């Protein structure tokens, strides 16, 4: 727990499920005031808000599509109107869809880039503008992936969006460091969330994924939420422009484990 997070205000995008939900709940436990953004899962978002309130935090659910500029502006305004400020912007919303690259249409490509990369651009830059206007030394946290650096066939749009987030985050970190605004990425490996539900429901594909993780464990959302809390906290006050990977060793060339190669 980080006691300085008490009463700080955060927006978490895509917070009705998976990693966003776990982060919103963790922020709630820290005593933060949380804007729980959702795209279409209104009921689930309301439940997240209820859980936050039960654990001592405050929350509101706000519908917004992170790929739409006016929606992101409304999201930032809702934090201001409801809680008076914005200290932490957690750009978590993301989508993925398996399609061999030679069959991928421009529409498929644009959809993933719009949510994952442009959505993160909008969330980061609008939050930074608000922080600059209000003299806030805030923390921007972006949900990247191991695929920020690991190529991923059939997911070229997704891997490109996460690769783009590396430069987005590093550039913004450099640009706004003089204002005390920190910008960092989290880079998870394979985590137990709805995005992986189909894959992990089949024991064969789950085993296949496990074989790519040196620690031989699928990650749990709470193991990623703890990184978000750290990056939001004063314990990370000198940390900016990094990607903090949490992947059980997935990107360490697992094929070389046990001295192969
Ligand atoms: P998820 O599918 O449960 O979460 C994604 C959330 O984003 C959903 O609640 C969805 O409704 C929301 N969303 C989608 N489009 C949106 C839009 N236009 N506006 C607002 N919200 C939107 O899956 P998960 O795993 O929790 O994904 C969250 C983030 O974590 C994504 O950015 C994903 O790329 C990233 N990630 C996930 C990993 C995993 O293994 N689960 C590993 C690495 C990164
Ligand atoms: C994807 C997951 C995948 C993980 C490791 C994440 O970015 O969302 O589906 O399991 O990377 O490959």
From the CA of 195, how far away is ligand 1's center (Å)?
Answer: 7
Count, residues in the chain:
261
From the CA of 94, how far away is ligand 1's center (Å)?
Answer: 4
Which pLDDT does position 222 carry in this prediction? 98
Q: Token pair 């998870």 is at which residue?
A: 188
Listed residue (247, 259, 257) closest to 150, CA to CA: 247
Q: Which helix (H) or strand (E) holds 63?
A: strand 58-63
Which pLDDT does position 7 carry in this prediction? 97
Report how far residue 69's alpha carbon sits from residue 126's, in angstroms, rounded to the nearest whole number: 9
From the CA of 141, how far away is ligand 1's center (Å)?
Answer: 14
- State the catalytic residue, choosing from 2, 38, 130, 158: 158
Q: Which two tokens stand for residue 58?
A: 């405050």
The pLDDT of 55-82, averaged and rounded, is 98
Residues in contact with ligand 1 by the CB-under-6-Å rule are 13-14, 16-20, 37, 39, 41, 65-67, 92-95, 115, 143, 145, 188, 190-191, 193-196
| Ligand 2 close to Cβ of residue 161 (< 6 A) | no
Mean pLDDT of the chain: 98
Q: Which two tokens stand for residue 70?
A: 């006016």
Report how far residue 235's alpha carbon sits from residue 80's, in angstroms, rounded to the nearest whole number: 25
Atom 26 of ligand 1, residue of closest alpha carbon: 18
Which pLDDT does position 99 carry in this prediction? 98
Q: Locate the domains of the chain by residue range.
A: 3-248
Ligand that comes closest to the CA of residue 39 = 1
Fold of 3-248: Rossmann fold (3.40.50)
Listed residue (25, 91, 32) closest to 233, CA to CA: 32
Which pLDDT does position 221 carry in this prediction? 98
* Count of beta carbons in the 10 Å neighbourhood of residue 219: 21
The pLDDT of 13-17, averaged and rounded, is 98
| Ligand 2 close to Cβ of residue 195 (< 6 A) | yes
β-strand partners of 244:
186
pLDDT (tens digit, 9 = 90+) per residue, 222-235?
A: 999 999 999 999 99
Q: How confident is the model at residue 39 (pLDDT cuts 50, 70, 90)?
A: very high
Per the annotation, the verdict on 238 as an active-site residue is no
Q: Token pair 């690259």 is at which residue?
A: 101
**In this prediction, what percent of the chain has a pLDDT beyond 70?**
100
For the CA of 71, the closest atom of ligand 1 is 19
Which pLDDT does position 208 carry in this prediction? 97
| Ligand 2 close to Cβ of residue 94 (< 6 A) | no
pLDDT (tens digit, 9 = 90+) per residue, 123-161?
A: 999 999 999 999 999 999 999 999 999 999 999 999 999
Listed residue (14, 201, 146, 160) closest to 90, CA to CA: 14
Q: How many CA atoms lie within 13 A of 169 on its CB side?
A: 32
Q: Token pair 């519908």 is at which residue?
A: 63
Global confidence as pTM: 0.99
Interhelix angle 69-83/119-133, rounded to 10 degrees, is 40
- Under a CB-based contact definition with an 8 Å cutoff, are residues 193 and 221 in contact? yes
């Amino acid at each position: 727990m980080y006691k300085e997070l008490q009463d700080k205000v955060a927006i978490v995008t895509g917070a009705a499920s998976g990693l966003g939900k776990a982060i919103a709940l963790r922020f709630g436990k820290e005593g933060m005031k949380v804007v729980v953004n959702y795209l279409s899962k209104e009921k689930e978002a309301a439940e997240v808000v209820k859980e936050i309130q039960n654990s001592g935090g405050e929350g509101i659910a706000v519908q917004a599509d992170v790929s739409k500029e006016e929606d992101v502006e409304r999201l930032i305004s809702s934090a201001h109107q409801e809680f008076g400020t914005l200290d932490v912007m957690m750009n978590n919303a993301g989508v993925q869809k398996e399609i061999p690259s030679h069959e991928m249409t421009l529409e498929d490509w644009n959809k993933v880039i719009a949510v994952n990369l442009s959505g993160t651009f909008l969330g980061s830059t609008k939050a930074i503008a608000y922080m600059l206007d209000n003299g806030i030394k805030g923390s921007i946290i972006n949900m990247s992936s191991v695929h920020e650096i690991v190529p991923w066939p059939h997911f070229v749009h997704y891997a490109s969006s996460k690769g783009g987030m590396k430069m987005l985050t590093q550039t913004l970190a450099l640009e706004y460091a003089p204002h005390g605004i920190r910008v960092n990425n989290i880079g998870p490996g394979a985590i137990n969330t709805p995005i992986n539900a189909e894959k992990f429901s089949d024991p064969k594909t789950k085993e296949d994924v496990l074989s790519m993780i040196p620690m031989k464990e699928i990650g749990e959302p709470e193991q990623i939420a703890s990184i978000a809390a750290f990056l939001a906290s004063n314990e990370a006050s000198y940390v900016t422009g990094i990607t903090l990977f949490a992947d059980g060793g997935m990107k360490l060339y697992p094929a070389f484990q046990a001295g192969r190669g």
